[in-house]
A = this chain, B = another copy of it.
């Protein structure tokens, strides 16, 4: 049993090492250009061992993608139950961008998008994990704010999308087309503008007083 356990732990550490190497390789070269042999090399494992853990290059990529998608979490806990709408918008936007830019999520998205035609199920699954999870997280917050009377009653599924659409356009979309794109200095100011737009429509203070731009 001790032996068995030892073996399992070794096996798992190899699996993790392969995943790490694969992630790095895919991020660097994309799916097609990344070489299995090099991944095995970087993971200090033989190709045969790699294939013991993952049936094919595609499965390996799927595992990498899922792994990464898992790291994109739920943001609700960042907020106090009585955080005001503007603060909620700002906080969630910051958290969104942080995970997006710090965990190479932009780069992974690029690869997943590339694989959409050949691996539609994987892509949809990833889309659900990465995009859907964050969407639901945001919607929960909005629902809470509506319930607390801090936002006008409205279709929060839609409004959540509009909100994240504005943020994405400003920061994610450029990053998708330019691997060197970094968050600009005026990120905060821009988020604030987006908040203004959002609150002009959904906030309860329709005069828009207190707007910063």
A77 interface contact, C-beta 8 A: no
CB-CB under 8 A from A114, the residues of chain B are 30, 110-111, 113-114
Beta-carbon contacts under 8 Å, A1-47 to B: 27-33
**Within the assembled complex, what's the spacing in Å between the Cα atoms of A193 and B174?**
25
**Chain B residue with Cβ nearest A207:** B206
* Residue A60, interface by CB 8 Å: no
Complex alpha-carbon distance, A180 and B120, angstroms: 9
A139 within 8 A of B: no
Residue A194 CB within 8 A of the other chain: yes
Contact with B along A112-138 (1 / 0, CB 8 A): 111011101001101100010000000
- Which of A28, A155, A200 has the most chain B CB atoms inside 10 A of its CB? A200
Is the CB of A100 closer than 8 A to any CB of chain B?
no
Cβ of A110 to closest chain B Cβ, rounded Å: 5
- Which B-chain residue is minimally distant from A180 (CB atoms)? B120
Number of interface residues of A (CB under 8 A): 55
Bound state CA distance, A123 and B116, in angstroms? 18
Establish whether residues A110 and B120, one from each chain, have CB atoms under 8 Å apart when the complex forms.
no
A107–B118 Cα distance when bound, in Å, is 12
CB distance A173 to B131 under 8 Å?
yes
Q: Which of A79-87, A89-97, A164-172 contacts B (4 or more CB under 8 A)?
A: A164-172
CB distance from A176 to the nearest CB of B (A): 6
Q: Choose one: B113, B155, B164, B200; the contact of A201 (CB below 8 Å).
A: B200
Binding site for B on A (CB under 8 A): 27-33, 107, 110-114, 116-118, 120, 123-124, 126-127, 131, 154-155, 158-159, 161-162, 164-170, 173-174, 176-180, 190, 193-194, 196-198, 200-202, 206-208, 213
